[in-house]
Structure 1
């Protein structure tokens, strides 16, 4: 899988995020982007739509939710949408099978996965989880893939050194809080959901792995290049905005996730 990630990162790096300073075309282009899920990991997209950054570029963006990465990517392959948003590994897999697709922009540039434990678990290194039950998302998913990678790098085996319990994505927090396991591998907002309940955050993959193409926007290689550049520009401006205005970003997140505990969103 390492080579697939590398391939996806190279595809992404190949597109120069330029032209932001260029004036938007007078013609407004309408495009559809199919996201795998409604996810906090896709917040730059929501910020770009909410704050009008795409409109400033002359792009009208219709957001649809497919329900899975493969369904989102399939919408691009079938032509029902121009762009899809999900992990870049799915794009790399499709490209390796001959699909004429590529990654054009990142949405999250770090490995947004964390490990949390019950308060009574001693954790000084990953080797401390030996013999423990660990809950993680049902494969294939990046959180579990990165966790397995971390185990391997530390000479551990998920089948012999731990009891790995894979659960449907989004149910990891409940499994940890209910005591099904005392250790969990989590995305946001699941991490903050367990943290405000007293669970300990013991390891962050962003620090461990640094810059990382975690969630990305995919398009056919013959996509309208003007629309693609406008999409990239809008995402880049949104990410810069998020760094400069956390309060404004939180307000967008609250609108996108109205049922989430506000404390979770603010964290």
Structure 2
């Protein structure tokens, strides 16, 4: 949390350059994604199936590996759009930003992490975690907050009932677990399935299935970008909506084949099983509209985790007009 706020303090002082100029009719948008995960399949489908091109958009996608880095890219003008946990927009608002980050399109609607055990666990019970070492996610990020929310639902105090490790950088968590750190770890797909296939761990539970609907990851743009180029964001959201509908309607193998270019080191069967897991638990939002009910759930989870800097009204940090127009 402190690291994120430090990044934000620097970024908020920088000059924002909204959008990228194009030499022709195609608009170029720079998008920063917080991680590379099958959890974001509708985005990769929209890219691979040409949905953005059909909206006269060219997308330059960069993986920034972590909420703090992703939000810094957005605030400093290094990206036009950020794909990151919705909580980060609230942290920015807590810094009294003059040009806040606005959520304009939802991508996911549950937690996207799975509980992976180092050793095979028969008849897993959440109480098995007590007394073990748990390699968690960054403090103040959605994975960690939802993870703690689930643990508390199962009468586990994350601070007292287990050894919670949060000193590993987001991008290095999988390798840290693979090298022997922790008894359990919280991982996204396809890393969880890859570890399972390679014998490095065993997927034993889903945080998404346990926590229910959460406005987990959304696309954000600065308010100045929305005011200057709302049309481009509507077209962007329209392509995302088509990607969401594709993921909703197609089978897991077809989806895996569509996104395989974005996971060149991952075998098709792993991608297929990962997509299937997310589809089964309803992780993919079926449209880009972020609801007020979902926002209230986010605030409640942040408050429970002790990470809510202020209660921000839904309409201050969420723009529903863009998503609504994108579906027309």
TM bracket (short chain): 0.7 to 0.9
* 1:179 CA drift (Å): 4.7
Q: Does the CA-based 8 Å contact 1:36-1:86 persist in structure 2?
A: yes
Residue by residue over 1:204-228, the C-alpha shift from the partner in whole angstroms, topping out at 9 and shown as x without a partner, is: 1222222222221101223121111
User: What residue is the counterpart of 2:211 in the other structure?
Assistant: 209
User: What residue is the counterpart of 1:9 in the other structure?
Assistant: none
RMSD: 2.6
User: What residue is the counterpart of 1:195 in the other structure?
Assistant: 196
Residue by residue over 1:138-190, the C-alpha shift from the partner in whole angstroms, topping out at 9 and shown as x without a partner, is: 43433222222222333322232112233333544455555543322221122
How far, CA to CA, are the matches of 1:74 and 1:176 in structure 2? 27
User: What residue is the counterpart of 1:221 in the other structure?
Assistant: 223
Query: How do 1:94-243 residues align onto structure 2 when only pairs under 5 Å count?
Result: 94-99=92-97, 100-166=100-166, 167-177=168-178, 179-198=180-199, 199-222=201-224, 223=226, 224-243=229-248
User: What residue is the counterpart of 1:4 in the other structure?
Assistant: none
**Taking structure 1 as reference, are residues 130 and 241 closer, same or farther at Cα in structure 2, changes over 3 Å only?**
same
225, 244, 265: which one pairs with 2:249?
244
Misfit runs of 4+, over 6 Å:
none
How far, CA to CA, are the matches of 1:266 and 1:112 in structure 2? 16
Residue by residue over 1:112-145, the C-alpha shift from the partner in whole angstroms, topping out at 9 and shown as x without a partner, is: 1111224443554322211122222343433222
Q: Does the CA-based 8 Å contact 1:123-1:202 persist in structure 2?
A: no
Does residue 46 of structure 2 align to residue 48 of structure 1?
Answer: yes
User: What residue is the counterpart of 1:264 in the other structure?
Assistant: 270
Q: Which moved more, 1:43-52 or 1:179-188?
A: 179-188
How far, CA to CA, are the matches of 1:253 and 1:159 in structure 2? 38
* 5+ long unaligned stretches in structure 2: 2-24, 274-328
- Larger strand proportion of the pair: 1
* 5+ long unaligned stretches in structure 1: 2-26
SS in 1 for 2:156: coil
User: What residue is the counterpart of 1:89 in the other structure?
Assistant: 87
Q: Does the CA-based 8 Å contact 2:150-2:211 persist in structure 1?
A: no
SS in 1 for 2:158: coil
How far, CA to CA, are the matches of 2:75 and 2:118 in structure 1? 43
Q: Does the CA-based 8 Å contact 1:137-1:143 persist in structure 2?
A: yes
Structure 2 length-normalised TM: 0.65
Residue by residue over 1:6-57, the C-alpha shift from the partner in whole angstroms, topping out at 9 and shown as x without a partner, is: xxxxxxxxxxxxxxxxxxxxx5433221223333333322221221111222
**Taking structure 1 as reference, are residues 80 and 114 closer, same or farther at Cα in structure 2, changes over 3 Å only?**
closer
SS in 2 for 1:85: strand
Structure 1 length-normalised TM: 0.79
How far, CA to CA, are the matches of 2:70 and 2:86 in structure 1? 12
